[in-house]
Amino acid sequence: METPMETEKKALALLGLAARAGRVTVGLPLTCEALKNARNEKRPQLVLLASDASANTVKRITDRTNYYKVSLCRLQAAGDTLALAVGKRETDVAVVGVTEPHLAAAVRELLTAEKQI
């Protein structure tokens, strides 16, 4: 049986695949804008939140995902790990949205198997 950290590493690998395909929104402003303005194919299907996100970020993204009925998952990984997963080496990333439905479903399935959502 896998540990929760191993499962999360698999989910972050899938997130990296989505990032290379250009099917993610990175950062709070871009993710909030995509939730608000995007047509269905561009709207995030799943939003991932770093463990070290600020209280303000947590509130803003929680309110947005609840309003637009999008799944939100708080990861055990910190912002620097999340940034590396999506190819951002110079900064921390608190929020990432996955716009590819199949990859979002796969990540959600991995994380709900460990009851992290």
Distance, in Å, from the CA atom of 88 to the CA atom of 85, rounded to the nearest integer, reads: 8
Q: Which CATH superfamily is domain 4-113 in?
A: Ribosomal protein L30/S12 (3.30.1330.30)
pLDDT at 16 over 50: yes
Give the model's pLDDT for residue 29.
94
Using an 8 Å Cβ cutoff, are 47 and 96 in contact? Answer: yes
| C-beta of residue 96 within 8 angstroms of C-beta of residue 14 | no
How do residues 73-109 score in pLDDT, each as one tens digit?
A: 999 999 999 999 999 888 889 999 999 999 999 999 9
pLDDT at position 115: 53
pLDDT at position 4 is 76
CB 70 within 8 A of CB 47: yes
pTM: 0.90
